[in-house]
Structure 1
Amino acid sequence: MTASTLTAVLWDMDGTLVDTEPYWMAAETVLVERFGGTWSHEQALRLVGLGLEDSARIFQDAGVRMGIQDIVDHLTDDVMVQLATKGVPFRPGAQELLASLREAGVRTALVTMSLRRMAQTVVDLMDFHAFDVMIAGDDSTRPKPFPDPYLQACAALGVSPGDTVAIEDSPNGLRSAVASGAAVIGVPLMVSIAGAGAHAVWPTLEGRTAADVAEFHSAHAESTAERSRGTAR
Structure 2
Amino acid sequence: MTSSALAAVLWDMDGTLVDTEPYWMAAEVPLVERFGGTWTHEQALGMVGLALEDSARLLQGAGVPWSADEIIAYLTDEVLRQLADTGVPFRPGARELLADLRAAGVKTALVTMSMRRMALSIVELIDFPAFDIVVAGDDVERPKPYPDPYLQAAAALGVDIADAVAIEDSPNGLRSAIASGAVSLGVPLMVPLEGVGAHALWPSLAGRTATDLRALHAAHAPAFPTETRVTR
Matched residue type, 2:216 = F
Residues 99-114 of structure 1: pairs in structure 2 closer than 5 A:
99-114=99-114
Matched residue type, 1:164 = A
Displacement after TM superposition at 1:197 (Å): 1.3
CA distance in 1, matches of 2:7, 2:141: 24
* Aligned twin of 1:132: 132
Contact 1:146 1:175 survives alignment (8 Å): yes
CA distance in 2, matches of 1:24, 1:138: 18
CA distance in 2, matches of 1:131, 1:157: 10
* Aligned twin of 1:198: 198
List runs of 5+ in structure 2 lacking aligned partners. 225-232
Matched residue type, 1:88 = V
Displacement after TM superposition at 1:4 (Å): 3.5
* Aligned twin of 2:28: 28
Displacement after TM superposition at 1:194 (Å): 1.5
* Aligned twin of 1:118: 118
1:143 aligns with 2:143: yes
Displacement after TM superposition at 1:195 (Å): 1.6
3-state SS of 1:138 partner: helix
CA distance in 2, matches of 1:159, 1:7: 7
Displacement after TM superposition at 1:189 (Å): 0.3
* Aligned twin of 2:86: 86
Q: Equivalent pairs: percent with the same residue? A: 70
CA distance in 2, matches of 1:188, 1:139: 25
Displacement after TM superposition at 1:36 (Å): 0.5
Contact 1:4 1:217 survives alignment (8 Å): no
* Aligned twin of 2:183: 183
Q: What TM-score do you get using the length of structure 2 for normalisation?
A: 0.94
Query: RMSD across aligned C-alpha pairs, in angstroms?
Result: 1.1
User: How many aligned residue pairs are there?
Assistant: 223
Displacement after TM superposition at 1:86 (Å): 1.9
Q: What TM-score do you get using the length of structure 1 for normalisation?
A: 0.94
Displacement after TM superposition at 1:225 (Å): 3.3
Displacement after TM superposition at 1:196 (Å): 1.4
